[in-house]
Chain A
Amino acid sequence: MIRITVEKKLSGAEGPFTLSIDLQMKPQSILTLYGKSGTGKTTLLRMLAGLVKPDSGRIEVNGEIWFDSSNGVCLPPQKRRVGMVFQDYALFPTMTVRQNLLFAQEKKEPRKVEEMLELTGLLALRDRYPGTLSGGQQQRVALARAILRAPDILLLDEPLSALDQNTRGQLQDEILKVHQRFGLSTLLVSHDKQEVFKLSDSVAVIKNGCITRTGTPHDVFLDRITSNKFSFVSTILSIRKVDCIYLAVIGAGNELVEVVLCESDAANLKPGDEVLVASKAFNPIVMKLKEATEPEDEIPPI
């Protein structure tokens, strides 16, 4: 269990405020901190990493005390087993991918580096320099480097917000994969609701330095309980009138779906709105897909 109770006075854009956090995190889970910028999310991550000292409080990670103001305990950053991934990758530009990973190891174990390169699909890029890689590839290196230290806690500070939608989706899958593979405890900062729903076991909403709500993404973001079996949170991309009904285009993962809306729905919705799309278990038609090698001699129903 990771227990964080910390306080620190901060100066924000709208004047000074107190970051006052009381948070518990189950081991091997992904907890997302959700909130506007300037509410103290990154500061909290930096406190965990030992880069910022709280005014008071206690940080306990799997039974080990990292910080305790009541008896002067404050482990230096190098004594805390933390992996961090930032939005801007923070790779060493003059080192190759492999050297970047090796550098992160306290005890140099090239074999482990090779294993990690293979696991994260970076083997082919091992001798490239960060400047020659795409944003997604660089962030994959940063993630591999963070995990290589076998951290007690993995801190992800909006790691995907600079990437395009497609790359973001792939890296979300990657994060889930390594999180499960290594049984990591991950603290993610994100302001993307789709990302929160896809990745988090639980979410804590931070507002003005305080946690205002915690729970599963459904608990926190949907103020109602629905009986529907299939649902996903997404954004309306467009709405157009067709005859006397409306068709809304909604993003669903990397796919787009079209959904029928009626006059009363359309009156309340506009492109850009975040929505819950839900369907009863009775409705979907399920069809077996043909083997990819077979020629398509039938047109599937639409």
Chain B
Amino acid sequence: MNCFSAIITGIETDESGSLFLLELDASGLQLSMLLFDLKPAFTEGSSVNLLFKETGMAIARNLTGEISFSNQFSATVTAIRSGNILADITLASPAGECTVIVTIRSVQRMKLDIGDSVTVLLHASQISLETPRMITEN
């Protein structure tokens, strides 16, 4: 599981008030995510952790044209661990380290190597939010 620290910078909601689009600042990266049920702990200015799964994201090289992924940010490949089918690729980004799982075929097609710059693509619907709870003993 990947985890970035971030601050909620904006909250937009639909007419019924049940679907929310959150704007987030993760160490300077502007990200957005979709969410149902806005818990009271999630307000503008709140510090949160953004959680996203290694298998729920994509990476691109020399990306041109328009694409529907809400979140796009640059990162550098720092490690590649290959299996027979899949590869576990470690990336360094301004918001911290993250990992992406892609097929070996994609690694080969993209000619990915350590040190390469890539664009990380992350759906707004694939980010989860958590905030450490203040533990109250009573």
Contacts and interface: CB of A to CB of B under 8 A. Distances in A.
Interface residues of B, number: 32
B101 A245 contact: yes
Interface string B100-126: 010000000000000000000000011
A222 B132 CA distance: 9
A264 B83 CA distance: 16
Contact of A225 (B41, B84, B101, B126): B41
Interface residues of A, number: 25
A223 interface: yes
A280 interface: yes
Contacts of B83: 243-245
B57 to A, nearest CB: 12
Given A223-B133, A227-B129, A227-B130, A244 B82 contact: yes
A227 B42 contact: yes
B54 A262 contact: yes
Interface stretch (B9-17, B32-40, B61-69, B70-78): B32-40
A226 B128 contact: yes
Contacts of B82: 244
A280 B41 contact: no
A217 B82 CA distance: 41
A214 B138 contact: yes
**Leading 6 A-B pairs by shortest Cβ distance:** A243-B83, A244-B83, A227-B129, A282-B125, A262-B54, A226-B130
Given A226-B129, A282-B125, 11 more contacts: A211-B138, A222-B133, A223-B132, A224-B130, A227-B37, A227-B129, A243-B83, A260-B53, A260-B55, A262-B88, A264-B1
17 contacts: A222-B133, A224-B130, A225-B39, A227-B35, A227-B37, A228-B128, A243-B85, A244-B83, A244-B86, A245-B88, A262-B1, A262-B88, A263-B81, A263-B99, A264-B1, A280-B128, A282-B34
Interface of A: 211-214, 222-229, 243-245, 260, 262-265, 278, 280-283
